[in-house]
Amino acid sequence: MPPNYESQTFWDTRFKKEEHFEWLDDGRDTIVPVLREHLRTHAEADPESAGPPLVLHIGAGTSTLSNDIVEAHQSVYGRPPGGLVVLNTDFAQEAVRRGTAAGGRAEVVAWAQLDLLEWRDMRAMRDRVEEVEGRRFAFVVDKSTTDAIACRGDMGFSQQACEAAAGDYHPAIVAAALASPTGYIDVHPAAVLAHHLAALVQAGGVWIVLSYSSNRFPFLTYDSNDQDSENKIEASARAFWRLERVQAVKVKEEGTAGESTVHTPELA
């Protein structure tokens, strides 16, 4: 049975003891090269940009990936960032507390607690970033966070709940629930996440995911069964996201001579 990844207590307990851990890979040879490629495209398209493109790092935990993201930005733009570059977010308050307390690069790296599956949290974050930064995120970096989210069961939404508190749910989910002949829909959590993240990124935004699954987002491909309400809400994610590339990568295995290591599969 997998750990209870949807429990905030699970993560807070873990992060009280954990100094540093990288899920799947540290991202330097997997996520960062892809991000750098997109940063170059962004820089060429908008060389006079008033501020650095914003990166939303979800499920940051105790990873040091944000440091590499800042360095990638500087290598592309050839100058120190002139403002916020990375917003590290995590479900667990303890991870945010530790990250904030660690300090360092506070002018370019910030931390915030965020429940990615709560529309109220995501909507508030969107409004806050727009108010403070005057724009939305250009990139989302996701190092196995969707993997953890996908471990939970489908999320249920009822017509009654959506009618009583429509503002608590993404508009597309509300519309699907209200249209359901059963009065209830079940939605895969990764599809809920896709809708929520789309609200935080600018047009043309890029979501870079390191996952152990080569088919983490099946709803982003056409399915002829997309007729019932559940499948319609999953399919509606395609209005926001397009699956551009799936690439298998071989990540480094941790450990030194004489130590046992866990087999590291090729990742998508």
User: Per residue in 14-30, pLDDT tens?
Assistant: 766 777 778 778 999 99
Average pLDDT over residues 226-233: 66
**Mean pLDDT, residues 94-118 taken together:** 87
Residue 105 confidence (pLDDT) above 90: no
Q: Which residues contact 115 (CB under 8 A, 6 or more apart)?
A: 91, 121
Tracing tokens 């006079």 back to the chain, one arrives at: 48
- For residues 81-105, one letter each, b for 16 or more C-beta atoms within 10 angstroms of the residue's C-beta and e for the rest, the string is beebbbbbbbbbebbbbbbeeeeee
The alpha carbon dihedral of 141, 147, 151, 153 has a sign of positive
* Residue length of the chain: 268
User: Domain 8-152+188-215 class?
Assistant: alpha beta
Cβ atoms 228, 172 nearer than 8 A = no
Q: What is the pTM of this model?
A: 0.87
* Token digits of residue 235: 């399919």
The residue ranges of every structural domain in the chain are 8-152+188-215
Q: Rounded to an integer, what distance in angstroms lies between the CA atom of residue 151 and that of residue 209? A: 16
pLDDT at position 152: 86
Mean pLDDT of 194-205: 96
Contact 111/89 with Cβ under 8 angstroms?
A: yes
pLDDT at residue 11, as a whole number: 62
**Minimum mean pLDDT range among 35-49, 167-181, 188-202:** 35-49
| pLDDT over threshold 50, residue 265 | no
> What pLDDT was estimated at residue 263?
35
Lowest mean pLDDT among 39-53, 103-117, 119-133: 39-53
